[in-house]
Chain A
Amino acid sequence: MIRATLPCLTLAAVLVVGASFANAAPAPAAPAAAAPAAPAAPAPAAAKVTALVKVVDGSVETRPALGQPWAPVQVGMQLAEGADLRTGFRARCVLDMTESLVQVGPLTVVRIGELRKDGDKIRARVVMKQGNAQAEVVRKAVASDFAIVTPSATLSVRGTRGIWCNFFPDLGGRYGLTRSGLIGVTSSTPPDNSTGVHPGEETDDAATLPVWLVAMWHEPPILDLFGLLPEERWAAMRWDTSTPFPIGLNGPNGSPLLGVLQTPPLHPSRGTSPNDTGVKGTTSTMYEPLYRGR
């Protein structure tokens, strides 16, 4: 019995070892027909261009990308797409982006979100976390592809040359023109308002009609629970007290009523989806770290 079993076991062991070697052996070369098809010729990528630093006043620092150390900016430096800039008190920096001249004002954190040559025009997106910026855009064609993007609005150029914007968290944004023309301000907040701004006018993050904004500033508040504007309704319901309400009961302004009647936030920095940056007109999620953290 043992004599009959031993050779079988030996043979089985040899087979197992052989099978394991066979598995460990390199796979045979796949036939040419089964090889994956060669990748198609890549589409002509948009050529990246750089921004030339023309003027530096005060304390201005830059870093080439997220995670890199900050370094002082000097005149003549070339800043590529993805570079961050931050300026100090009464500081400014002027960038030449080939078809646009951008002045980064004081107390500003911006990123050159996109800067590349796409066909016969240069696509430029200046992403601003906060601060002041002003831009002069060359009007070569009808469709210029320059925009300043803030967490709550996008300023696009529509046949104008000079635009300015001022945005700070919790304070909101102001957008306007430095020369004649028309710009489009598209709000990131529902319902995606868009409005035109003429010289001397300005609009805010919600792309409020400029004449409506002037009316809000200069008209006396209406103490009416059924007022047209949130400010009108809030004027009647404002709970002006220095005593905070318990957590959970207080609304945005300390009023217990406002917690119930709270409208969508005025300056949300993000959309609803994790991948939604809340920024319209952008094609990349590279703006997100600028808004969320260092």
Chain B
Amino acid sequence: MLGRVWTAAALILLAAGWALAAAPPAPAPAPAPAPAASTDAQFFGELAYKDVATAADTARALTILVSEGTENGADFAAAKAYLAKQGVLPDGWLSKVAAEEPTDKGHLASLVCRALKIKGGLWMRLFGPQPRLALRECAYLELMAQGCDYCHVSGGELVGVIDRADRLRGRQTGRAPPKLEGQPSGAPEVKP
């Protein structure tokens, strides 16, 4: 009697194993879609909450600034290639660092001076936009706040520098910011 029970159990287990083996394999999981490149609103909005801006953030922000918004710059290598093509980083700091390296004020100022083609004063014209000189020049132009050139740049500060740099370029090229026109819906009617 006991032998029959064991035999039946073994048969049931064998049948179950055969059924599992014969079952069609589960479909392979579909490849995850590539993450869509974030919009510049998302990029700058999230950058504002970062304590320290990385080199990748700086490269992307400068790419957007130099290209006047036409380039996204989400890919670090592509952003560096674009900036190199535009002459912003000839043998500079950004071409050597890793994407996660923090950005410091001096090198950011140097990149901004190159991006906006700021000539600077006597020493900067002689020696080029070295970090210390470039930071002084950017502070003079009110693009950046004064400070040490080795201090890290926060995300919010980087966004502010991009904003001020674009405003400065707008003043140089005569591009006026859009004016606020119109009346709110609750405005009283103008009597003739």
Q: Number of A interface residues at 8 Å Cβ cutoff, please give it.
A: 53
Q: Which of B4-12, B27-35, B113-121, B155-163 contacts A (4 or more CB under 8 A)?
A: B155-163
Q: Number of B interface residues at 8 Å Cβ cutoff, please give it.
A: 45
Residues of A within 8 A of B65 (CB): 89
With beta carbons under 8 angstroms apart, the residue of A70, A96, A105, A140 that contacts B185 is: A96
The A27-76 residues at the B interface (CB cut-off 8 A) are 52, 54, 57-61, 70
Q: Which of A16-24, A167-175, A187-195, A280-288 contacts B (4 or more CB under 8 A)?
A: A167-175
With beta carbons under 8 angstroms apart, the residue of B42, B46, B64, B160 that contacts A171 is: B160
Known: A109-B48, A138-B188. A89 touches B162 (CB 8 A): yes
User: Are A244 and B156 in contact (CB-based, < 8 A)?
Assistant: no
In the complex, which residue of chain B has the Cβ closest to the Cβ of A238? B146
User: Are B180 and A86 in contact (CB-based, < 8 A)?
Assistant: no
Known: A109-B48, A171-B161. A90 touches B187 (CB 8 A): no
The B41-82 residues at the A interface (CB cut-off 8 A) are 41-46, 48-49, 64-65, 68-69
Q: Which of A7-15, A126-134, A152-160, A208-216 contacts B (4 or more CB under 8 A)?
A: A126-134
Residues of A within 8 A of B177 (CB): 105
User: Are A254 and B40 in contact (CB-based, < 8 A)?
Assistant: no
In angstroms, how far is the closest chain A Cβ from the Cβ of B123?
13
Known: A86-B41, A89-B64, A293-B49. A254 touches B151 (CB 8 A): yes
Known: A171-B145, A242-B150. A98 touches B48 (CB 8 A): no
User: Are B48 and A244 in contact (CB-based, < 8 A)?
Assistant: no
User: Are A253 and B148 in contact (CB-based, < 8 A)?
Assistant: yes
User: Are A99 and B46 in contact (CB-based, < 8 A)?
Assistant: no
Does A185 sit at the interface, judged by CB under 8 A?
no
Does A136 sit at the interface, judged by CB under 8 A?
yes
Mask: chain B, 170-182; 1 = CB below 8 Å from A; 0 = not: 0000000110101
Complex Cα gap A70–B149 (Å): 36
The A214-272 residues at the B interface (CB cut-off 8 A) are 240, 242, 244, 252-254
Residues of A within 8 A of B150 (CB): 242, 244, 254
Does A92 sit at the interface, judged by CB under 8 A?
yes
In angstroms, how far is the closest chain A Cβ from the Cβ of B39?
5
In angstroms, how far is the closest chain A Cβ from the Cβ of B127?
14
Mask: chain B, 75-115; 1 = CB below 8 Å from A; 0 = not: 00000000000000000000000000000001000000000
Complex Cα gap A132–B166 (Å): 13
User: Are B145 and A86 in contact (CB-based, < 8 A)?
Assistant: no
Residues of B within 8 A of A279 (CB): none
Complex Cα gap A149–B78 (Å): 38
User: Are A294 and B49 in contact (CB-based, < 8 A)?
Assistant: yes
Complex Cα gap A267–B40 (Å): 26
Does B134 sit at the interface, judged by CB under 8 A?
no
Complex Cα gap A135–B145 (Å): 26
Complex Cα gap A101–B180 (Å): 8
User: Are B147 and A86 in contact (CB-based, < 8 A)?
Assistant: no
In the complex, which residue of chain A has the Cβ closest to the Cβ of B178? A92
Residues of A within 8 A of B156 (CB): 130, 168-170
User: Are A254 and B41 in contact (CB-based, < 8 A)?
Assistant: no
Complex Cα gap A284–B182 (Å): 31
Residues of A within 8 A of B24 (CB): none
Does A176 sit at the interface, judged by CB under 8 A?
no
Known: A136-B180, A162-B180, A294-B46. A88 touches B40 (CB 8 A): yes
Residues of B within 8 A of A109 (CB): 45, 48
In the complex, which residue of chain A has the Cβ closest to the Cβ of B143? A171
In angstroms, how far is the closest chain B Cβ from the Cβ of A146?
10
User: Are A107 and B157 in contact (CB-based, < 8 A)?
Assistant: no
Please report B residues at the A interface, Cβ cutoff 8 Å. Answer: 39-46, 48-49, 64-65, 68-69, 106, 131-132, 144-151, 154, 156-157, 159-164, 166, 177-178, 180, 182-188
Provide 8 A-B residue pairs closer than 8 Å at the C-beta atoms, listed in order of the A residue. A88-B69, A107-B163, A130-B156, A170-B145, A240-B132, A242-B150, A253-B147, A254-B150
For the complex of A and B, the 4 pairs showing the least CB-CB separation, nearest first, are: A168-B160, A169-B156, A88-B40, A88-B41
